[in-house]
Structure 1
Amino acid sequence: MKWILALAAGGLICISCLLLIQRDELGDEAKNQGALSSRVAASSVSQSGIQRVSTRTPRALKSTEKGSSASALFGFDQSTAILRNDPNDPEQLLPEASELGSVELAPEIEIDHVLALLGSFRSVANAGCFPTGFNYEITNALLGKNKKKIAFISEKNVRINEEGELTDKWGSPYFFHAESSTKMEVRSAGEDRKMFTDDDVSSYRM
């Protein structure tokens, strides 16, 4: 009888030991899962932050950030592009392109020159439609980034700033508003360099 009780007691001790070991293992597993959850949560926050940044509208970088070539920043470099005409040969451009930037031009005439270039682009290189997009995108289209590979202005023109934008005589980027595929507004901020104030200069072309 005594030996049966001894065996039973020994069995209980073994079972208790097994239960303790299993409890410790479950505790370690819970700790590991908790740590893993923390890492996943941290990773999700980080990825969320990256997505929020990446969905912002790209801005033009300052000259100190982007180097010397503004057009290269936006994926087009006229100097290395294969074009059907020479943008640095005045005889291969409209007269308005060569005159653009002249100190003798009144702001109203200069805007008309810009509209003339856009009208030529529309007729020759874009199936009768005005270009759309940000200023630098429209400027790139005039520089030769178009399906016809025709340049309508030289990247050396003084009216193209370091951000690759076409500017008015006061250095402010023109505001291009394509009201439709066949109607374009070009607006200058004027001498006060503030858009939509009394001294703005604007014109339409249809």
Structure 2
Amino acid sequence: MAKKTKPIRPPADPLPPVIAPRVSAPPDPMSIDPEIQKMADDLSAKVHSPARDLELVDEFLDLYRRVFQQGNPIGLNEDITAVLTGRNARNGILFPPASPLIVKGQLVDRWGTPYWFHPNSSYQMEIRSAGPDKNLFTQDDVVKNPGPDNMGIGVGISQP
């Protein structure tokens, strides 16, 4: 019995390389809006008063409420910081993740102490800086949107 051999085909002409049309890249969802960066830079610069620092933090929270069309972010400082830095349903950055004001995953005040957040309602957050003594709920605390009677947890200096 004769051995069958496969017919030899001549090599096919190679196809010309496919050149993809040039398409501009979509915006990086992890990029930081220049206005957001400016607000964060103002907060980091410490050229304003501690009360203004809290106003800026409140603006970041308000931005979250507007972007997600819902109430306050929930959780502790590290949870709120995570949401603001991009770990949210849209992966949108509402606060720069590389900011020097994020220490161990928490947003800290000008003295390096984590802010204390407490929702007064769905759309208003009490924000408390421990102040220069770095101890929460003492006379030198700086507070934005204090709850009624400071919720019975201490005396703070309410700042507009």
Same fold by TM-score, threshold 0.5 exceeded? Answer: yes
CA RMSD of aligned residues (A): 2.0
Q: CA deviation at 1:132?
A: 1.2
1:84 aligns with 2:25: no
Instruction: Spell out the pairing of 1:26-37 with structure 2 (5 A cutoff).
Output: none
- Which residue identity lines up with residue 127 of structure 2 in the other structure? V
Match of 1:131 among 70, 73, 79: 73
Q: Distance in 2 between matches of 1:129 and 1:95?
A: 24
One-letter amino acid of the structure 2 residue matched with residue 187 of structure 1: R
**More moved, 147-156 vs 185-194:** 147-156
Q: Structure 2, unaligned stretches of length 5 or more? A: 1-27, 147-160
Whether the 8 Å contact between 2:73 and 2:80 is mirrored in structure 1 is yes
What does 1:7-46 correspond to in 2, within 5 Å?
A: none
Structure 2 partner of 1:147: 89
Count of residues in Structure 1 that have an aligned counterpart in Structure 2:
120
Q: Distance in 1 between matches of 2:126 and 2:30?
A: 27
Q: Distance in 2 between matches of 1:85 and 1:99?
A: 21
Describe the SS at the equivalent of 1:146.
coil
Say whether residues 1:121 and 2:64 are aligned partners: yes
Q: Which residue of 1 aligns with 2:40?
A: 97
Q: TM-score, normalised by structure 1?
A: 0.54
Percentage identity across paired residues of the two chains: 33
Structure 1 residue runs of 5 or longer lacking an equivalent are: 1-82
Partners of 2:65 and 2:37 in 1: CA distance: 14
Structure 1: how far apart are the matches of 2:107 and 2:127? 11
Distance in structure 2 (CA, Å) of the matches to 1:85 and 1:112: 25
Deviation at 1:94, TM superposition (A): 5.7
2:107 is the alignment partner of 1:166: yes
Shift of 1:158: 1.2
Secondary structure of 1:184's counterpart equals strand
Match of 2:128 among 187, 190, 193: 187
Aligned to 1:124, what secondary structure does the other structure show?
helix
Query: Based on CA coordinates, which of the two structures has the bigger radius of gyration?
Result: 1
C-alpha spacing 1:184/1:142, structure 2 compared with 1 (3 Å): same
* TM-score, structure 2 normalization: 0.69
Which string of whole-angstrom CA distances, capped at 9 and with x for unpartnered residues, describes residues 128-187 of structure 1? Answer: 2111101010000000111122101112111111x1100000000000001221111100
Amino acid corresponding to residue 112 of structure 1 in structure 2: E
Give the secondary-structure state (helix, strand or coil) at the position aligned to 1:100.
helix
Once the two structures are TM-superposed, the CA of residue 92 in structure 1 deviates from its matched residue by 5.6
By percentage of residues, which structure has more strand?
2
Which 4+ stretches in 1 moved above 4 angstroms? none
CA distance in 2, matches of 1:154, 1:92: 11
From 173, 176, 180, give the equivalent of 2:117: 176
Asked if the contact 1:185–1:202 (Cα under 8 Å) also holds between the matched residues in 2, the reply is yes
